[in-house]
Chains A and B, each alone.
Chain A
């Protein structure tokens, strides 16, 4: 038996640009800025009170009627994953019990699910409503909480915030009974999930895997933590659209977004035999970590160069074969510098003209949701033979040069696209996609 290969046959993306891969890809082709004021709550007291928010978002109309009441026990991160999954299966033309009430077009036990998630933030109003029934003399009273206060929380409260619930709801809605995992490695989670999902296919543990990640940090706890970390751009609340500037000379920090991307990974002959549209082949994956990453105030790209080299080696190509990089581009100055250094180390001097594109300028940082979106963008770029632009990039930051950050959209011959990401804490992962030869 020959080596089992992995094709990407479906893309499900939700970002501030819109629902579906098209609005996101078009926004970075057309230079459309999607970061704005935060409307979900009054964020005016936050140094960075802007974000790439999903407007009027709810999973309700994306889940089967019989499952609609379960949306109540979904944190926003879960809702995003559920919508992305629906989009991805439909895009792939795979019938599940979620997309079509009847027969599944794939054996449930051969359908895996691997969805990265973040530290899901509890809804402060929901918990606060219960907490404030256990107050004595203006102070929280733990005894009162134990005897009665906690009873004001819905019994399923905990399940709303477990990170594995992104995958669990998706497996339940769509009938995925194969391997199921939930990777929680911050910004690297999406690439790690997709890479591991691809390995399930190559080692014959599954034929199809839905993989990627989703997260929302547009809530008070999420924003507060990023602010304490010193990662957010401050002083730009009055001009949100221009605020997030990956690799740009005027980068001062990131802007939180919310969203996610799930892709359908499918064993290649399985995809070919059903004449599926195949965006790209996933030919290489690698992961690494930075032993110094636990010191989170020391900016790090998590040994991304090592992860990328492993991915390139697995693809059986050399760095000179890479035609485009879809970067993580957080716009945190120290992280941009580390990331740029990693890409330079991988490409070598001769590769200094390889275009690099980041999505964050348009939609903000998506954390565990980023990797799936970045991989979907890479798949679109290679299938459309188009290099999109890095929104809000004008001139490369001193510490990042030389780096050929793409500032305008153009057609190009792309055979291999490299994409990689990293977490606060020092984990990284990279994938190599290859054009499908027609």
Chain B
């Protein structure tokens, strides 16, 4: 069977820097920081008191009718806004002959936020002397306090469900949750569905918000978050010697993928082409990455092989670059392993320095900036880079954007637990 080419025809995002693609890109090129004290809840005594939050976002400003989605979770509302932007840009909605049974949805969306107050009060009010929850009392109280809509919004497949409803599509629908790699994986698998003719078009990307007390607790207990509470704006320092963890972010980014021939035939504007996808597992430990970066390197190699190109053809790498001690060192090693002598000459940067870590939504957001890097022939920087780390010796595009010839770009995402994914895109004409 003839393999189809996969193109991107629409993009949308709602993230801590901005609520659309162009404003996000302008903020990144202006080296803006999205970090502030957490105001979603009182994190004043937490080890990390700050995050990258989406502020002043109103779904009604994005949709003509937001009412059907009034019970959607916080991250789902981000996704709906991002998806409407992408769908509109693609022009697919104006196609009267669109076969909606062949338009799919493939997201890397996180779970929704817990109904924190009710959930927590139950554990207090139904606590028994024996050091365990009295489940009889818990059940009685739970049925008084818990709310169906709040519970359903936590199911990670509900974002897919809301997007299907909004656009009336009934094709293949997947949600994956491979932690921080989820939306890169979603886009990669979606691309394969287009290449092999299983879908004509796919709404793909990711959404997540873990900025709630137990989300921050979980990452704080793992000591994965920056605790630079007195230098909030510059807290995320990927590849820098003084890096001390990531800044938790939230948001959603959505892309529309299509079969090249169809997109061309209907006169759609092609934003970029996805030419390679690779996936791998470290199979090492749930707590640590493989220190040699073998899993990450395998993912990059698989993507290069899939694209049928040599490492020399990569002009820029969008790093996973979380700013944890371990990730940045391992990723650097993996780039050395894959790119050999040329490693130091391939620019690689992490926009997490400005945007924070959107967890499941990170990869899709980063891929959008890769598309824009090709469009504008400019590389987004790694900000807050001051003090080189001898273990991180690549060209990280420090502190300011750089004009460059950019035709082919690689984007990496690595998840907790060792799932790695890599995408390669090109200009697409």
Within 156-188 of A, Cβ neighbours of B (below 8 Å) are at 156-159, 162-165, 167-169, 171-172, 174-186
Interface string of B37-57 (1 = CB under 8 A from A): 000011111110000000000
Cα distance, A14 to B162, chains bound together (Å)? 33
Q: How far is the CA of A67 from the CA of B420 in the complex (A)?
A: 22
* Contact A179–B160 (Cβ < 8 Å): no
Contact A177 B157 (CB under 8 A): no
Specify which chain B residues have a CB less than 8 angstroms from the CB of A162 in the assembled complex. 177, 179, 416-417
Whether the Cβ atoms of B170 and A306 lie closer than 8 Å is yes
Residue from A178, A423, A426 in contact with B280 in the complex, judged by beta carbons closer than 8 Å: A178
- Majority-rule SS of A interface residues: mixed
Which one of B11-19, B283-291, B331-339 is at the A interface?
A: B283-291
Most buried by A among B139, B158, B169, B295: B139
A290 to B117, CA, bound (A): 33
A108-B298 Cα distance, complex, nearest whole Å: 11
Asked if A143 is an interface residue, CB under 8 A from chain B, the answer is yes
The 0/1 profile, CB within 8 Å of A marked 1, for residues 271-284 of chain B is: 00000000111111
CB-based nearest B residue for A179: B279
Give Cα A220–Cα B221 distance, bound, in whole angstroms: 25
Given contacts A42-B136, A140-B124, contact A183 B46 (CB under 8 A): no
Contact A159 B222 (CB under 8 A): yes
The size bracket of the interface on A is 35 or more
B221 CB contact (under 8 Å) in A73, A154, A167, A286: A154
Given contacts A45-B139, A293-B165, contact A288 B279 (CB under 8 A): no
Distance (Å) between the CB of A304 and the closest chain B CB? 11
Question: Contact between B174 and A229 (Cβ–Cβ < 8 Å)?
Answer: no
Q: Are A427 and B170 in contact (CB-based, < 8 A)?
A: no
Give 1 or 0 for each of A249-279: 1 = CB within 8 Å of chain B CB: 0000000000000000000000000000000
In contact, B177 and A180 (Cβ under 8 angstroms) = no
Q: Which candidate, B141-149, B343-351, B394-402, is the interface stretch facing chain A?
A: B141-149
Query: Closest CB of chain B to A350's CB: distance in Å?
Result: 24
Residues of chain A with a CB closer than 8 A to B279's CB: 178-181, 205
Interface string of B71-104 (1 = CB under 8 A from A): 0100000000000000000000000000001001
Q: Is A109 in contact with chain B by the CB < 8 A criterion? A: yes
Task: Please name all residues of chain A whose beta carbon is closer than 8 Å to the beta carbon of B415 when the two chains form the complex.
Answer: 164
Q: Give residues of chain B (395-424) contacting chain A, Cβ–Cβ below 8 Å.
A: 415-419
A residues 219-238 in Cβ contact with B at 8 Å: 220, 224-225, 227-229
Residue among B104, B165, B173 making CB contact with A292, cutoff 8 Å: B165
Chain B residues near A153 (CB-CB < 8 A): 217, 221
Is there an interface contact between B135 and A42, defined as CB atoms closer than 8 Å?
A: yes
A196 to B193, CA, bound (A): 10
Is B133 among interface residues, defined by CB-CB distance under 8 A? yes
B302–A287 touching, CB < 8 Å = no
Q: Are B168 and A291 in touch, CB under 8 angstroms? A: yes
**Does B281 lie within 8 Å of A171, measured CB to CB?**
yes
Whole-angstrom CA separation of A139 from B25 in the bound complex = 44
Q: Determine which of B152, B185, B298 lies in contact with A109 in the assembled complex, contact meaning CB atoms within 8 Å.
A: B298
Q: Which residue of A lies closest to B131 (CB)?
A: A129
Q: CB distance A184 to B156 under 8 Å?
A: yes
User: Which of A108, A159, A165 has the most B CB atoms < 10 Å from its CB?
Assistant: A159
Query: Considering only CB atoms, which chain B residue lies closest to A309 in the complex?
Result: B101
Q: Are B283 and A294 in contact (CB under 8 A)?
A: no
Are A124 and B416 interface neighbours, CB within 8 A? no
Residues of B within 8 A of A178 (CB): 279-281
Closest CB in chain A relative to B108 CB, distance in Å: 10
- The listed residue (A129, A229, A292) touching B152 by CB distance below 8 A is A229
Min CB–CB distance A42 → chain B (angstroms)? 5
Contact with B along A418-434 (1 / 0, CB 8 A): 00000111110000000
Known: A203-B196, A228-B146. 19 other contacts (CB 8 A): A45-B136, A45-B138, A45-B139, A119-B154, A119-B155, A128-B124, A144-B45, A151-B221, A155-B223, A177-B283, A181-B189, A229-B152, A288-B172, A289-B105, A289-B169, A289-B173, A292-B165, A294-B72, A306-B101
A positions within 8 Å CB-CB of B: 41-46, 70, 73, 108-109, 113, 117, 119, 124-125, 127-129, 131-132, 135, 138-140, 142-147, 150-151, 153-159, 162-165, 167-169, 171-172, 174-186, 192, 196, 199, 203, 205, 220, 224-225, 227-229, 286-296, 302-303, 306, 423-427
Q: What are 5 A-B pairs at a CB distance below 8 A?
A: A109-B280, A109-B298, A132-B127, A192-B174, A424-B152
Q: Which B residues are closer than 8 A to A by beta carbons?
A: 41-47, 68-69, 72, 101, 104-105, 111, 120-121, 123-124, 127, 131-140, 142-143, 146-148, 151-152, 154-158, 160-162, 164-165, 167-179, 185, 189, 192, 196, 198, 213, 217-223, 279-287, 294-295, 298, 302, 415-419
